[in-house]
């Protein structure tokens, strides 16, 4: 079966992906410095840069939510258990035997079952936990016109622990993601797709066939 270049990742999708990656890397880098793992910016500057990056990250999240809802792309992340066993077998065994990928990527279904579950967990659990705990930590004590106001929290320890756990989950995801992007048709094909928007798909997927294989009519018809 032949291959064809298909425009699968839109401009904002690629922008959001790369900005999110850069911000997560920077937040992790400054966050671990704040924890005293090493010294690069210095504690005070690391905190300042971490907070600035956090606000940018929250702004990006708001825009991404709006984009996903208005374009319907949120449907890409709805979890499914269908074909999950085949996908697990591929990652555990098949990928080392040059077996064909069990799930065909299409414009309407860009993620395999494991990716859907992972990204859904990130968007619903890990990132909200990271953002919420970070904001609580930042505004535990803050200036107001009446002096110093405080959220009614006895200690920051639990908040710091939850924030660190969320950060570690994000770091593990990034490391795993960096490995998995090398598992395409070639080691760099997935990376190129997220840079250009175009990916090499089977000819019968060029119109964005549904996972079931039913054809979707082209707009020109």
Q: How is residue 100 annotated by DSSP?
A: P
pLDDT of 63 above 80: yes
Burial of 81 (C-beta count, 10 Å sphere; 0-12/13-18/19+): exposed
Residue 218 resides in a domain: no
| Predicted model pTM | 0.79
Residue 2 has pLDDT above 60, yes or no: yes
Query: What is the rounded distance in angstroms from the CA atom of residue 91 to the CA atom of residue 103?
Result: 12
Query: Taking CA 215 as the corner, what is the angle to CA 195 and CA 200, rounded to the nearest 5 degrees?
Result: 25
pLDDT mean over 99-107: 81
CATH number of the structural domain spanning residue 53: 1.20.950.20
Is 86 within the bounds of a domain? yes
Task: Provide the domain limits for residue 116.
Answer: 3-205
Q: How far is C-alpha 83 from the chain's CA centre? A: 22
In a domain, 188, yes or no: yes
Q: Would 47 be classed as within a structural domain?
A: yes
Q: pLDDT band at 95, cuts 50/70/90? A: confident
- Domain assignment present for residue 79? The answer is yes
CB 138 within 8 A of CB 51: yes
Is residue 211, in this structure, part of any structural domain at all? no
* Whole-angstrom distance, CA of residue 191 vs CA of residue 14: 11
Number of domains making up the chain:
1
Cα 214–Cα 184–Cα 83 angle in degrees, nearest 5: 45
The pLDDT, as a whole number, for residue 154 is 65
């Amino acid at each position: 079966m032949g291959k064809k270049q298909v425009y699968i990742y839109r401009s904002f999708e690629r922008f959001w992906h790369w900005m999110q990656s850069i911000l997560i890397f920077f937040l992790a880098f400054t966050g671990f410095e704040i924890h005293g793992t090493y010294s690069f910016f210095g504690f005070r500057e690391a905190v300042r840069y971490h907070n600035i990056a956090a606000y940018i990250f929250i702004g990006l999240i708001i825009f991404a939510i709006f984009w996903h809802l208005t374009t319907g792309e949120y449907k890409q992340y709805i979890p499914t258990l269908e074909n999950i066993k085949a996908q697990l077998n591929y990652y555990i065994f098949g990928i080392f035997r040059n077996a064909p990928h069990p799930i065909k990527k299409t414009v309407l279904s860009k993620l395999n079952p494991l990716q859907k579950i992972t990204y859904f967990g990130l968007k619903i659990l890990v990132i909200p936990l990271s953002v919420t705990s970070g904001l609580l930590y930042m505004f535990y004590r803050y200036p107001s016109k009446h002096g110093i106001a405080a959220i009614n929290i006895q200690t920051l320890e639990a908040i710091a622990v939850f924030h660190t756990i969320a950060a570690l989950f994000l770091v593990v995801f990034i490391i795993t993601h960096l490995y998995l992007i090398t598992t395409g048709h070639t080691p760099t094909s997935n990376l190129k797709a997220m840079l250009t928007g175009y990916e090499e798909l089977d000819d019968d997927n060029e119109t964005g066939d549904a996972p079931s294989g039913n054809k979707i009519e082209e707009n020109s018809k």
